Amino acid sequence: MSVLVEKRLFTVEEYYKMAEAGIFGEDDRIELIHGEIIEMSPIGSSHMACVKRLNAMLSSLSKKFVISVQDPIRIDNFSEPEPDVAILKYRQDFYQNQKPKASDVLLLIEVADTALEKDQKVKIPLYAYAGIPEVWLVDLQDNKIIVYTEPVGENYRQSRQYFPGETVICERIENLSVAVSDVIWIESD
């Protein structure tokens, strides 16, 4: 006999109340996606170094934009993912009084090594649904950057892959171009 079990989905507000009540451990790496509390993959050294390289490259934009590293972005009442890097519209308070929403994001970057499939099947569709105009997925497994643009529903109409030796040019941010080789460090033998 099978039993029909209904999931209990949580809102962002309930998620924060649970955190305030101490339900989650201090070192828990979790995020709220579609009302479900999802465990994030551990950050490996390649992933960590890639995020640091991106942050260093993008720091020159900090006078015009807010560079957000591994901070939450409010998508809706049931989703608040924590992308690796987001370039946000500039606000003088640096989002102290309100967390960034999807409409504040100009470019979002996810770095994926062990969680590539989750990023492609869960997070990219979530970002498209939220209307985030441009997403870069840094694929450390295959040494490439996949650029998604033109969100429609839960998909992006355009996607293009860039490999070492090529340069990614951001459509949303003037004068932002990044060499793939500067983002993905490939050790020579």
pLDDT score, position 185 = 81
Concatenating the DSSP letter of every residue in 28-74 gives --EEEETTEEEEPPP--HHHHHHHHHHHHHHGGGTTTEEEEES---B
The CATH T-level fold of domain 43-183 is: tt1808, chain A (3.90.1570)
Going from N- to C-terminal start, the domains of the chain cover 43-183
- Angstrom distance (rounded) from CA 47 to CA 66: 22
Per-residue pLDDT 10s for the chain (189 aa) are 677 778 889 999 999 999 999 998 888 889 999 999 998 888 889 999 999 999 999 988 888 999 999 999 999 999 999 999 999 999 999 999 999 999 999 999 999 988 788 889 999 999 999 999 999 999 999 999 999 999 999 999 999 999 999 999 997 898 899 999 999 987 655
pLDDT score, position 60 = 87
pLDDT score, position 1 = 66
